[in-house]
């Protein structure tokens, strides 16, 4: 029987993977047999995450490598260090992102705007370009980048974040077109409100969580573990004809009507 989700022998490189959705996706990929290189800024958090992944899958599947995605040379070095440590990446998950500003887009300082766009958009282009060479040599690969349902609507408090996530969808679409002939698939994942530390201010109150959950068709906020299977699908042969797409994972919060 063909195991369409089997990732045995493949290396996956993930940014923003020391906790939350990134850690869940790394765990999901490792559960399907992949060796995962996990990255974030803090090595202590990465080492704890790697131990958690290894315990979950019963083997030494995870390699921690620190990286600040806001620095181009660090992103490029991450790809080469991952290659040395675990082999060329057949799967890349760009999950790291920032939101340094909360308020009207009319008042955002230039520095905060530039940081948001660089971390959420440009750094993923750096990552994709660095990894594409490895994937081309492998004969193909899969990239996925974490966008947001914020890309689909304006916001009076998270406007620049939403702009950056919409721009990321444009980047994904263009990369899918340009890298497709090389056998490289590129997709976006658009989470709704997920119970992570990153989004804690939006849900960390029982009454607030109850009100939000009541407006979601599945009647709950998302959990990081809801993304383990998505990563396995997009990274494996199960998703081999899916590229240039924005997969919305939000319990039905955003639907075409």
Tell me which DSSP letter residue 228 carries.
H
Active site members: 161
| Distance (Å, whole) CA 231 – CA 226 | 10
- Measured between alpha carbons, how far is 93 from 56 in angstroms, rounded to an integer? 20
Q: How far apart are CA 12 and CA 130, in angstroms?
A: 14
Contact (CB, 8 A) for 64 and 38 = yes
What does the alpha-carbon distance between residue 14 and residue 12 come to, in Å, rounded to a whole number? 7
Helix H or strand E encompassing 226:
none
Residue 77 in tokens: 């070095």
């Amino acid at each position: 029987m063909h195991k369409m989700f089997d990732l045995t022998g493949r290396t996956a490189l993930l940014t923003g993977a020391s906790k939350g959705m990134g850690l869940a996706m790394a765990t999901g990929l490792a559960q399907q047999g992949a060796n995962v290189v996990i990255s974030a800024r803090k090595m202590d958090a990465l080492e704890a995450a790697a131990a958690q992944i290894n315990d979950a899958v019963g083997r030494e599947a995870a390699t921690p490598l620190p990286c600040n995605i806001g620095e181009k040379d660090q992103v490029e070095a991450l790809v080469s260090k991952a290659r040395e440590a675990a082999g060329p990446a057949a799967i890349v998950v760009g999950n790291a992102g920032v939101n340094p500003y909360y308020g009207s887009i009319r008042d955002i300082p230039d520095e905060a705007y530039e940081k948001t766009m660089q971390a959420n958009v440009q750094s993923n282009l750096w990552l994709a370009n660095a990894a594409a060479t490895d994937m081309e040599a492998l004969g193909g690969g899969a990239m996925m980048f974490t966008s947001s349902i914020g890309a689909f609507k304006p916001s009076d408090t998270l406007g620049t974040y939403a702009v950056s996530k919409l721009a990321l969808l444009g980047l994904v679409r263009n990369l899918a077109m340009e890298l497709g002939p090389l056998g490289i698939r590129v997709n976006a994942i658009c989470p709704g409100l997920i119970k992570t530390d990153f989004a804690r201010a939006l849900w960390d109150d029982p009454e607030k969580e109850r009100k939000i959950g009541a407006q979601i068709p599945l009647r709950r906020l998302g959990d990081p573990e809801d993304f383990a299977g998505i990563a396995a699908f997009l990274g494996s042969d199960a998703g081999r004809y899916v590229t240039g797409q924005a997969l919305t994972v939000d319990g039905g919060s955003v639907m075409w009507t």
